[in-house]
Amino acid sequence: MTRTICYLVAGTLLLGGCISYHETKRIVEEKDKPSQVLRHVVLFKFKDDTTSDDVKRIENAFCALPAKIDAIYDFEWGTDVSVENRQQGFTHCFIVTFRSEEDRGKYLSHPEHKKLGELLTPYLDKVLVVDFWAKP
């Protein structure tokens, strides 16, 4: 019985180390939660010759936006871990959440967002953007 428990614990630790995840940054207190939010989903496919250092600089720059742009309500991101093999080369997903279309507009026109675009453009093969309203 004890040996079985040890195997289960070891297996859980081993499999847990194989999962890729990135922490969600909560920008506001839960008490301020709106009835609906606007999700801005951005997927990146990098050019084949993009180095891991370049990707890391882009990840860091995108992750720095919530601290620089007040219009961002919430922010999440991660890298692909799908087993369905339908990602079509897209490796990174960023979800930027807003309270309103006006906040999304402030974000899109913000100089820090534009700087990210300038940094990203030389390395980007494809980008896919989908926005939708959701209940938080």
Domain membership of residue 130 (yes or no) is yes
Instruction: Show the low-confidence residues of the chain (pLDDT under 50).
Output: 1-21
What pLDDT score was predicted for residue 4? 40
Domain membership of residue 11 (yes or no) is no
Which two structure tokens, joined as six digits, stand for 51?
A: 């180095």
Chain segment 90-119, per-residue pLDDT in tens: 999 999 999 999 999 999 999 999 999 999
Q: The CATH number of the domain where 88 resides is what? A: 3.30.70.100
What pLDDT score was predicted for residue 26? 53
Write the DSSP assignment of 5-27 as a string of letters. Answer: HHHHHHHHHHHHTT----PPEE-
What pLDDT score was predicted for residue 8? 40
Query: What is the C-alpha to C-alpha distance for residues 39 and 93, in angstroms, rounded to an integer?
Result: 12
Among 96, 102, 121, 106, CA closest to 42 = 96
What pLDDT score was predicted for residue 35? 94
Query: What is the C-alpha to C-alpha distance for residues 76 and 88, in angstroms, rounded to an integer?
Result: 21
Q: pTM of the predicted model, to two decimals?
A: 0.78
Domain membership of residue 7 (yes or no) is no
What pLDDT score was predicted for residue 111? 98
Domain limits for position 73:
21-134
Give me the number of domains the chain comprises: 1
| 119 within 8 A of 63, measured Cβ to Cβ | no
